[in-house]
């Protein structure tokens, strides 16, 4: 009986096209491909630009703070209150600009990553079709490409519809 079962499985397996799987490390591809390297370099330049801008603002804030601390006792109460308000405003501006810069960097990084992953996905689909792969798996996240010969979505829909009708 066991031999018969193995023979049936072997016959069925030989009738089906062979499964060809590929794997990809998408994180490595993103880091090492020329487009990814160029995008990171561009992002780094923008980060350095933001840092330079923020440093100027920080130096200005520290100068104002030192001036107020050093000369504050010489000022009239109105002048001192004016300087303190100006310092607080400058502090808020600095914090707001830091937050804006962080958000801009995060958005730029997200945009470049989406664009690059989309391009790499299209390339992987071509590789999958040309190489007659059944599926290409990402080492970190799972399935990335699946050939039509292993897609069971239609079967799943059909069975789900059948079960829904029976209820």
Q: How confident is the model at residue 5 (pLDDT cuts 50, 70, 90)?
A: very low
- 95 is in which domain, residue-wise? 26-131
pLDDT at 82 over 60: yes
Among 45-49, 53-57, 65-69, where is mean pLDDT lowest?
Answer: 65-69
Our count of domains for the chain comes to 1
Close Cβ partners of 67 (under 8 Å, ≥ 6 residues apart): 83
The per-residue pLDDT of the chain, averaged, comes to 82
Greatest Cα pair distance, the chain, in angstroms, is 103
Asked if residue 124 belongs to a domain, the reply is: yes
Please tell me the total number of residues recorded for the chain in this structure.
Answer: 167
C-alpha distances (whole Å) from 64 to each of 52, 85, 93 are 19, 11, 14
In a domain, 81, yes or no: yes
Q: 53 in a domain, yes or no?
A: yes
Residue 61: what pLDDT? 94
Q: pTM here?
A: 0.67
Q: Examine residue 152 and state whether it is found in any structural domain, yes or no.
A: no
Residue 143 DSSP label: E
Residue 135 sits at φ, ψ, to 5 deg, of -155, 150
Q: Is residue 77 part of a domain?
A: yes
Query: Token match 């109460």: residue?
Result: 77
Question: Per the domain annotation, does 6 fall within a domain?
Answer: no
Structural domain includes residue 160: no
Give the list of residues 6+ apart from residue 102 with CB closer than 8 angstroms, or none.
none
What's the pLDDT band for 145 if we cut at 50, 70, 90? low
Q: Is residue 72 part of a domain?
A: yes
User: What totals of helices (H) and strands (E) does the chain contain, helices first?
Assistant: 5, 3
Q: Which of 95, 121, 103 is CA-nearest to residue 47? A: 103
Q: What is the mean pLDDT of residues 3-26?
A: 60
pLDDT at 149 over 90: no
């Amino acid at each position: 009986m066991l031999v018969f079962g193995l023979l049936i499985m072997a016959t069925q397996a030989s009738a089906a096209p062979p499964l060809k799987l590929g794997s990809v490390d998408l994180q490595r591809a993103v880091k090492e491909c020329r487009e990814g390297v160029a995008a990171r370099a561009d992002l780094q330049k923008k980060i350095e630009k933001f840092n330079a801008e923020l440093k100027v603002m920080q130096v200005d804030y520290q100068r104002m703070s030192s001036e107020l601390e050093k000369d504050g006792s010489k000022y009239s109460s109105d002048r001192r209150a004016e300087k303190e308000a100006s310092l607080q405003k400058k502090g808020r501006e600095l914090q707001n600009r830091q937050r804006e810069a962080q958000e801009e960097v995060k958005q730029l990084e997200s945009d470049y990553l989406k664009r690059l992953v989309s391009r790499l996905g299209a390339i992987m689909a071509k590789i999958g079709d040309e190489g007659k792969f059944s599926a290409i798996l990402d080492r970190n996240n799972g399935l990335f490409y699946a050939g039509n010969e292993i897609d069971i979505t239609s079967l799943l829909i059909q069975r789900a519809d059948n079960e829904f009708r029976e209820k």
